[in-house]
Amino acid sequence: MAELVFFSGTMDCGKSTLALQMHHNHAARGRDGILYTQHDRAGAATISSRLGLVRTAYEVGPSTDFWAEVIEGRTHGRPVDYLICDEAQFYGAEQVEQLARVVDELGVDVFAFGITTDFRARLFPGSARFVELADRVEVLQVRALCWCGSRATHNARTVDGAMVVEGAQVVVGDVTSNAGDVAYEVLCRRHHMRRMTAAAARAAAPSPQTLATAGDATLDV
């Protein structure tokens, strides 16, 4: 029986890697699938993994109608057994509903991959609708880590290395940046609420010289 499954997790937990692996496994068994993505950091119409895996995919836009596209494919003789939907947090709520309809009425498996919350720790509309409609929500088992070593549960946006909590919900970036670039970092809840990124933690840490001075002062007392 077909399913709508939403695989969620923070950045850096292997969502795109799993999406491409799942596509490989199903295709190897003779199933026909279509890959979709939106706003991938490597560019349009691409699913890319930080491990170096890259595949061409269809770019999802505001006018994308999944129901119509599957019907079109089948009308022209394509089986369309499953859909791989990466960066699914960016999809519109109506598009998520189209995917649910594709599962229920056409028997197509839909495997969606995305982060749940944005840099402000607010739900993406697409992710919220997936949570509401999915047959299963799977939290990826590969744990991304905060700079402190705790499990990372939140995504932080940085500009010039400083964490920001205001701005457009969707701004494409990666986990590395140059000066002036928008970048992202995964943090535990504690450090996200404190706005304490790795760079901020390094800046606040005592330098070796400061530690040595403090030690000398203690000895002199």
Active site residue 59: no
Contact 8, 137 (CB under 8 A): yes
Buried b (16+ CB within 10 A) or exposed e, 114-144: bbbbbbbbeebbbbbbbeebbeebeebeebb
Q: What is the DSSP letter of 62?
A: T
Contact 114, 11 (CB under 8 A): no
Say whether 199 sits in a helix, a strand or coil. helix
- Tokens standing for residue 45: 């119409």
- Tokens standing for residue 35: 């890959």
Q: Counting beta carbons within 10 angstroms of the beta carbon of residue 45, is it exposed (0 to 12), middle (13 to 18) or buried (19 or more)? A: middle
Separation between Cα atoms, residue 43 and residue 58, nearest integer Å = 12
Q: One of 72, 87, 105, 166 is an active-site residue; which one? A: 87
Alpha-helical (H) ranges within the chain are: 15-28, 66-75, 93-106, 125-133, 189-193, 198-204, 208-220
List the catalytic residues.
87
